[in-house]
Amino acid sequence: MKFIDEALITVTAGHGGKGCVSFRREKFVPLGGPNGGNGGRGGHVIFQSDEGMSTLIDFQYLRHFEAERGEHGMGSMKDGKDGQDIIIKVPVGTLIYNNDTGELLKDFKEGEEHFLAVKGGLGGRGNTFFKSSINQAPDHAQPGLPGEEKNLRLELKLLADVGLIGFPNAGKSTLLSVTTHAKPKIADYPFTTLTPHLGVVMGYHPFTMADIPGLIEGAHEGVGLGDRFLKHIERTGIFVHLISLSPDEVLPVEKRYEMIRKELLHFNPEFEKKNEVIALTKKDLISNEDELKKMVEPFKKMGRKVFVISAVTRAGLDEFLDYLRETLGDKQDQ
């Protein structure tokens, strides 16, 4: 399925129903009193977050949502029915902005949250309401009020605990596929992943992990797939920076690390403060222990937390996942 993470839509609440002007008509009562009912309220437009959704693709073609109008009031004191509300489902992680003012209206952080975006217009009062000691037979009623209307911008930012970053081919999708039920495409060519994927790492304290398309030098200038998917890991608690140990790699590990770091900080200088873990991947391709040591050393010197793993043999994976789980747990306890 296509992954869409932005949408512009218009939502219009229902118009209120008109109040009714009506008088009682009875056989032996020549001048009956007023009995016009009130108009019903127009329908609201409400957003609801849904954990089962992961893209805003539904809004690519359907861009205008209008709730039902309220029913008009009727004779015999019958009030019109309220218009039906519209409930629009969006993925968790969706932000709703007023597109005219730029104001953030709602940030859906969990499933089953609701947000009333526009209110239905009130129904008009029927002539019964206006009866008084000086006016026994009011011949007027109120019109219904219009429903609110807003132009909205929806933006999806995935909410994951851990974000996987690195060069294309580093093994991000492979790691996600062996630790969660996510099924991202995996291949030995760059830019296999074109959109983010989210998976849940089960076990004691489950947590979510997101894989994004690979970054390369110049990503902030739009090179490769650019940095447009970085926003999806903006809100993750931990970055895992994957670097391949494969002997086929031309540039040294620390050089590749610095290149990606540069792109990250270009995108958002705040990333400097992120909790970052380095995962040297594809350990199975290195048989020489001394060589391995040499590649780990620079990161230890930098004082970085570094793991050596293989998604193929699962070497180092348990220890790595436990560390992520504990680090996330500590944060929640604070």
Q: Which amino acid is at 154?
A: L
Q: Return the range that interacts with ligand GTP (CB under 6 A); candidates 73-81, 109-117, 151-159, 277-285.
A: 277-285
How does DSSP classify residue 73?
P
CB of 176 to Mg ion, least distance (A): 8
Kindly compute the dihedral angle of the four CA atoms of residues 86, 87, 93, 95, in this order, to the nearest 10 degrees: 20
Q: Supply the minimum distance, in Å, between the C-beta of residue 246 and ligand GTP.
A: 7
Structure tokens at 247: 């002997």
For residue 316, state whether it binds ligand GTP (rule: CB under 6 A): no
- With CB under 5 to 8 Å by kind, the binding choice for 171 among ligand GTP, Mg ion, none is ligand GTP
- The CA–CA distances, whole Å, from 139 to 36, 74, 159 equal 10, 14, 58
Letter for the amino acid at 279?
A
Q: Which is nearer to ligand GTP, 4 or 312 (CB)?
A: 312
Out of ligand GTP, Mg ion, none, what residue 142 binds, judged by CB under 5 to 8 A for its kind, is none
- Cβ–Cβ < 8 Å for 211, 172: yes
Which of 173, 180, 208, 236 is the binder for ligand GTP (CB under 6 A)? 173
**Partner from ligand GTP, Mg ion, none contacting 15, C-beta within 5 to 8 A by type:** none
Nearest-5° Cα angle at 169, 167 to 172: 80
* Beta bridge pairs of residue 94: 156
Among 67, 94, 310, 328, which residue sits at the site for ligand GTP (rule: CB under 6 A)?
Answer: 310
DSSP letters spanning 4-50: --EEEEEEEPPPPPPP---B--BTTBSSPPB-PPPPPPPPPEEEEEE
For the chain, what's the residue count? 334
From residue 188 to residue 227, the character string flagging contacts with Mg ion as x (rule: CB under 5 A) and all else as - is ----xx----------------------------------
What contacts 226, CB < 8 A, 6 or more positions away?
219, 220
Maximal C-alpha separation, the chain: 110
Least distance CB 153 / Mg ion (angstroms): 28
What x-and-dash track marks residues 179-218 binding ligand GTP by CB under 6 A? -------xxx-xxxx-------------------xx----
Closest distance of CB 178 from ligand GTP, Å: 8
When asked if residue 174 is in the footprint of ligand GTP (CB under 6 A), the reply is: yes
How many other β-carbons are positioned within 10 Å of the β-carbon of residue 245? 22
Contact yes or no for 137/30 (Cβ under 8 A): no
Q: State which of positions 155-184 bind Mg ion (CB under 5 A).
A: 172-173
Contact 122, 145 (CB under 8 A): yes
Tokens standing for 274?
Answer: 């992120």
Which partner, Mg ion, ligand GTP, none, binds residue 260 by CB below 5 to 8 Å per kind?
A: none
* Residue 312 binds ligand GTP, judged by CB under 6 A: yes
128 or 173: CB nearest Mg ion: 173
Q: Under the rule (CB under 6 A), what is the footprint of ligand GTP?
A: 166, 168-174, 186-188, 190-193, 213-214, 281-282, 284-285, 310-312
Q: Under the rule (CB under 5 A), what is the footprint of Mg ion?
A: 172-173, 192-193
